[in-house]
Amino acid sequence: MSKANVRRQLVLLEKNKVPKEKTTTTLSPNFSYKHLKRIYPIGLHKSSSSSSLSLSSLSLSLSENSIDSSSINDSTSPLDQKISLALRLIAPPPQRRESPVAKVFQQQSQSFQDMDNGELRRCNWITKNSDKVYVAFHDECWGVPVYDDNQLFELLALSGMLMDHNWTEIVKRRELFREAFSGFDPNTVAKMGEKEIEEIASNKAIMLPDCKVRCIIDNAKCILKIVRECGSFSSYMWGSVNHKPVINRFRYPRNVPLRSPKAEAMSKDLIKRGFRYVGPVIVYSFMQAAGLTIDHLVDCYRYSECVSLAERPWRHI
């Protein structure tokens, strides 16, 4: 064989080696984990026998796509560095965060309770120093719609006493008032004479002056006139609010008014009919107590309960 033929054979051999050299896998400096996933779709999972990650699929992919296996074993190779970086990028799943909707729902469900002592949240004027009798009046009576004539007469009489006393002092003597005025039955109270007036006014436990006793008796007589005209005192009172309680949404005590247009109109008509101690402020206090208006603060636990009672169909007969 001539030298020329030998050279031709060597050139052909060199040309055949070039594609093999170009098939070696190289990674550019801008190579990212996203590109690595495209080339090596490896799935990292935990082995059932141990908590360490299984890299069998990783080594298998590397062995199949590498020309020189000895270069893979080199810990300083660029491929190993990229793989190590990719593994470091695999972080544990983030902690589950509470959704805003769930947080709002939880706040609403706990808004009716005081988290400090676990007690029910009431209107701000009910404090830790409030008398238990007054708290019970707030929880059981104040704001509950009343349709009974005797009970309405009682609350109107008690509201008139707010000129000289507060609700705590009045509620403490409530049973004494009921006993003195025969359960606030207008028919019985309207028939009281001087003897009964003197007996009630002289009772130091009741603490009612003579003029207040006479006022309650005169109001009872006016109620009887309304009953003859409207069928019942309840029918007259609820007619002033279209037979449906006024539902307010006050958030702070300063928002609660001392009077309202409806209270002023009712006061004007009551005075016209001969009632006494029925100014707009007293009438509005009566409306609050009798449930004609719902003035519990919105974060008070009694607000939703009284509103549910107020939204029922008119139950007066």
Is 243 annotated among the ligand-binding residues? Answer: no
How buried is residue 61: exposed, middle or buried, by Cβ count under 10 Å (0-12/13-18/19+)? middle
Determine if residue 141 is labeled as part of a ligand binding site.
no
222 annotated binding-site participant: no
Q: Is 123 annotated as a binding residue?
A: yes
Which phi and psi (to 5°) does residue 141 adopt? Answer: -120, -50
Q: Map residue 84 onto helix, strand or coil.
A: helix
**What number of other Cβ atoms are within 10 A of residue 82's Cβ?**
17
Q: Judge contact between 183 and 153, C-beta under 8 A.
A: no
Look at residues 59, 67, 26, 23 and name the one whose alpha carbon lies nearest to residue 40: 59
Dihedral sign for Cα atoms in the order 137, 142, 145, 147: positive
DSSP string, 283-302: HHHHHHHTTSEE-S-TTSHH
* CA-closest candidate to residue 269, choices 227, 244, 228, 237: 237
- Alpha carbon dihedral 236, 241, 242, 247, in 10-degree steps, equals -140
* Local structure of 10: helix, strand or coil: helix
Q: What residues are designated binding site?
A: 123, 138, 296, 300
Q: What residues are designated binding site for Zn(2+)?
A: 123, 138, 296, 300
